[in-house]
Amino acid sequence: MSERMTVVMSERLGAIGEAEQAIVRAGATLRSAPLWTEDDLVTEGADADILIVGASEPVNRPVLARLPRLRLVVRRGVGVDNVDVAAATELGIPVAYVPSASVEEVSDHALALLLASERRLFDIHDAARAGDSAEAAKVGGQSRRFADLTLGIIGFGRIGRALARKSRSVFGTVLAYDPMPASPEAGVTAVSLDELLASSDLISLHAPGGPVVLDAAAFARLRPGTVVVNTARGELIDEDALRAAIAGGTVARAALDVTREEPLPDGSPLRAESRIRLTAHTGAKGSRSGPALRQGVVDAVLAALAGETPAYLADPSVTPREI
């Protein structure tokens, strides 16, 4: 490292902790800063050689073009959809990420939401808390046997595969759709998206950010009473179409860990719909995943500071310039 490098970490990721102190010990300057908006990123990141961001910071083309010192972006998490990787590639800026730290936690969360939604545990809890045991019993009596149900998994990467592994002994049938050809998985049937939508009793989303997957047309193809869970990306669901599908009975219940707008404003209609349960983007949280995510970020930064290539790059053809 020929000069002292500056690493700027988004304040939304929490305080600088012991794990991050390894960056300082490696000879870099490290500070936490508000990186909520494009202007924040340009102002606070003006002297940054390395940026550490989460899932919401808008690291887009205009921002990247105005950060001439930038040599590396590190996304703390599995997705990079808030980072314009194509623009970064054109500018010679590698984008590192941490793909494996929370696979178990997110797939656990998805399975927990699927089971709780189908067993009507949220509704039973509400009735029981209100002292209405008769209503709790009535609601519980409407749940279906897991072994009779078909689970459809949309997106069959690390997390989708982990959910499938955990679900094979729970649900009668497990279907999977992924736009990229996937290797066979024991106990899982690969199908088209149309077949999955038409055949599933429960659907769990695990696709990367991109085009809407569940829009009005997709909801129209579902079986009446389908349960929908999203622990992937908020933009995968047309939320107005979801509420319409719930009102029409196509979707019985939905559990959303992620939403298009985070945090949800007080007036959001999603808050008012009792058949939509919200978990505020906590799916990746856990006693093991949190430290693993932090360490994965630190490892990527330390690799770059040492003139090495981070383990996971969104575009492996772009490696850090000499630091």
Predicted confidence band at 110 (pLDDT cuts at 50, 70, 90)?
very high
* CA gap 73, 304 in Å, rounded: 10
For the chain, residues classed under CATH 3.40.50.720 are: 6-101+287-305, 103-278
Q: Which of 178-182, 197-201, 234-238, 276-280 has the lowest mean pLDDT?
A: 178-182
Q: What percent of the chain has pLDDT over 70?
A: 98
The CA dihedral of 289, 290, 292, 297, to the nearest 10 degrees, is 130
Nearby residues of 121 by Cβ (< 8 Å), 6 or more positions away: 115
List pLDDT tens digits, range 188-244: 999 999 999 999 999 999 998 789 999 999 999 999 999 999 999 999 999 999 999
* CA gap 78, 96 in Å, rounded: 10
In angstroms, what CA-CA distances link 240 with 52, 205, 236, 237, 266?
33, 17, 12, 9, 17
**Mean pLDDT for the chain overall:** 95
**Tokens 């590190």 map to which residue?**
74
List pLDDT tens digits, range 8-33: 999 999 999 999 999 999 999 999 99
Look at 119 and 319; give whichever has higher pLDDT. Answer: 119
List pLDDT tens digits, range 49-65: 999 999 889 999 999 99
pLDDT of amino acid 182: 66
Structure tokens at 296: 């994965």
pLDDT of amino acid 181: 67
Nearby residues of 98 by Cβ (< 8 Å), 6 or more positions away: 75, 76, 77, 78, 292, 293, 296, 297, 300, 312
pLDDT of amino acid 83: 96
CATH number for the domain running over 6-101+287-305: 3.40.50.720
pLDDT of amino acid 323: 55
- Residues classed as catalytic: 233, 262, 281
Q: Tell me the residue type at 296.
A: G
* CA gap 237, 94 in Å, rounded: 29
Distance of CA 53 to the CA centre of its chain: 14
List pLDDT tens digits, range 297-320: 999 999 999 999 999 999 999 987
Mean pLDDT confidence for 63-83: 94
Model pTM? 0.88
CATH superfamily of 103-278: NAD(P)-binding Rossmann-like Domain (3.40.50.720)
* CA gap 322, 1 in Å, rounded: 8
